[in-house]
Amino acid sequence: MSAPLQGKVALVTGGSRGIGRATALALGQAGAAVAVGYTTGAGPAEEVCAAIREAGSTALPLAADLADAAAAAGLVGRTVAELGGIDIVVNNAGITRDGLAVRMSDEDWAAVLAVDLTAAFLICRSALRPMLRSRAGRIINVASVSGVTGNPGQANYAAAKAGLIGLTKALAREVAGRQITVNAVAPGFIATEMTEALPERARQAAVAAIPAGRLGTAAEVAAAILFLAGPDAGYVNGHVLHVDGGLAA
């Protein structure tokens, strides 16, 4: 079995379900030791870690409330302390608080920006310090098609994901000289717990708008992240890889 990430240490936020779960499994199956970040419910995170261990890699669940700046930044230090370093960061965790902008509360705006953008920045900043010293690293930020095209009722989420894309491009320019790459993936409508919560009419409308005619899978997004985390993507930097069935084409 190929293990292109053997000896690498990865941190995946929001790693207990959906895209994060599929990503943590893919990185572990590729040989990386994986810190599986989660906010609530230790059970699903433990299940992901158990599956990674069964594949022959090391895995560690790490609980952190990403709305808490200190907790978000501290995830990197805990990963380094427990797993001996950090080579790959996948900022996947995100929340939604949807609503029309004219009715959106300050709290719903701030909550989404805190988790979806600020926490990602804090984790990037913390991870870049050891990566700069070792002159190597991979950061992959999970953005969204909403951050590229916008989406009615998601002013907070779209702004956060657009900001994440801007953060990705800025950091890529800052650290490329140290052999660190910073890229993003922009998933479209993916079959996860988040999209399963949509009303059936909204779900059908979403599928109708996708040129591919179907929802994507978490495994398809994880495959894109695995590529960006691996040795073959060393000259890919500051890029936003769309995994959206042609939705933003």
Q: Supply the DSSP string of 204-227, one letter for each residue.
A: HHHHHH-TTSS-B-HHHHHHHHHH
- Alpha helix positions (H), 84-211: 106-113, 119-134, 146-149, 155-175, 193-196, 200-209
What global pTM score does this model have? 0.96
pLDDT value for 199 = 82
Q: What is the rounded distance in angstroms from the CA atom of residue 109 to the CA atom of residue 89?
A: 25
Q: Is residue 69 within a helix (H) or strand (E), and if so which, with residue range? A: helix 69-83
Burial of 107 (0-12, 13-18, 19+ CB in 10 A): exposed
pLDDT value for 2 = 77
pLDDT value for 101 = 98
Say if CB 95 and CB 89 are below 8 A apart: no
Q: Is residue 36 within a helix (H) or strand (E), and if so which, with residue range? A: strand 33-38
**Residue-wise over 185-215: b if at least 16 C-beta within 10 A, else e?**
bbbbbbbbeebeeeeeeebeeeeeebeeeeb
pLDDT value for 168 = 98
Q: What is the CATH number of domain 9-189+221-240?
A: 3.40.50.720
Beta partners for 200?
none
- Write down the domain spans for the chain: 9-189+221-240
33-38 vs 59-63, strand pairing mode: parallel
Regions in the chain scoring below 70 on pLDDT: 1
Active-site residue list: 157
pLDDT value for 127 = 98
pLDDT value for 1 = 53
pLDDT value for 27 = 98
